[in-house]
């Protein structure tokens, strides 16, 4: 594999990481499913172990109870092993807002790492075969909620969908 092909593979994998986080935050199930190969496995420790569909079921159930949430990919190391296989370690900051009472919220801020195995089949898009998620830190903060800001949406009515003509339609 030449250096240009390796860069293209790394960019496609990076886009997959971003797409995953975006799909969770917008609660776009079809988009979330699009980054996994059929039969892909997920190990999120005590939270979930099984196939990617089961993981997404679990995430959707949990996130439906939250006021809002945001996932941010930070550091990434991607190693392309061959023309059709790669591995990655990604640091992800996850922020979850839980409503505890009428005017009391709890923010949970998690620092996690994804250890991923990616592949491309028949020259198609790079997708996940396996993900292991390790939690490194968990911080909880009581907070006030500011309804003055224009809230984001956890669906396809989020303003961001209006900015993309092809990507998320």
Number of domains in the chain: 1
- Residue 147 belongs to a domain with what CATH number? 3.10.450.50
Q: For the whole prediction, is pTM greater than 0.85?
A: yes
Q: Is the pLDDT score of 86 beyond 80?
A: yes
Q: Is 169 among the domain residues?
A: no
pLDDT for 169 equals 58
Q: Is 21 among the domain residues?
A: yes
Print the domain residue range for 128. Answer: 3-163
Q: How confident is the prediction for the chain on average, in pLDDT? A: 91
2-39 residues labelled b (16+ CB within 10 A) or e (exposed): eeeeeeebbebbbebbebbbbbbbbbbeebbeebbbee
What CA dihedral angle connects 103, 96, 159 and 167, to 10 degrees?
A: -170
Q: Is 168 among the domain residues?
A: no
What share of the chain has pLDDT > 90, as a percent? 74
Query: In whole angstroms, what is the distance from residue 101 CA to residue 94 CA?
Result: 22
Band of residue 146 on the pLDDT scale cut at 50, 70, 90: low
Band of residue 150 on the pLDDT scale cut at 50, 70, 90: low
Going from the C-alpha of 62 to that of each of 27, 36, 46, the distances in angstroms are 11, 20, 14
Ranking 46-60, 111-125, 152-166 by mean pLDDT, the lowest is 152-166
pLDDT for 82 equals 95
Band of residue 131 on the pLDDT scale cut at 50, 70, 90: very high
Residues 8-29: tens digit of each pLDDT: 999 999 999 999 999 999 999 9
The half-sphere exposure of 129 on its side-chain side, counting CA atoms within 13 A, is 11
């Amino acid at each position: 594999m030449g250096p240009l092909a390796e860069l293209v593979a790394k960019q496609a994998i990076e886009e997959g990481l971003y797409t995953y986080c975006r799909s969770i935050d917008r609660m776009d199930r079809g988009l979330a499913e699009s980054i996994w190969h059929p039969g892909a496995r997920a190990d999120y420790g005590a939270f979930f172990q099984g196939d990617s569909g089961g993981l997404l079921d679990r995430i959707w159930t949990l996130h439906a109870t939250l006021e809002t949430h945001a996932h941010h990919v930070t550091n990434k190391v991607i190693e392309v092993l061959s023309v059709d296989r790669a591995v990655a370690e990604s640091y992800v900051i996850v922020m979850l807002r839980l409503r505890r009472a009428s005017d009391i919220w709890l923010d949970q801020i998690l620092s996690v790492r994804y250890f991923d195995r990616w592949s491309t089949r028949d020259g198609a898009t790079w997708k996940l075969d396996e993900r292991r998620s390790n939690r490194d830190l968990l911080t909880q903060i009581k907070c006030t909620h500011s309804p003055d800001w224009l809230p984001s949406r956890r669906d396809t009515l989020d303003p961001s969908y209006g900015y993309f003509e092809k990507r998320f339609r």
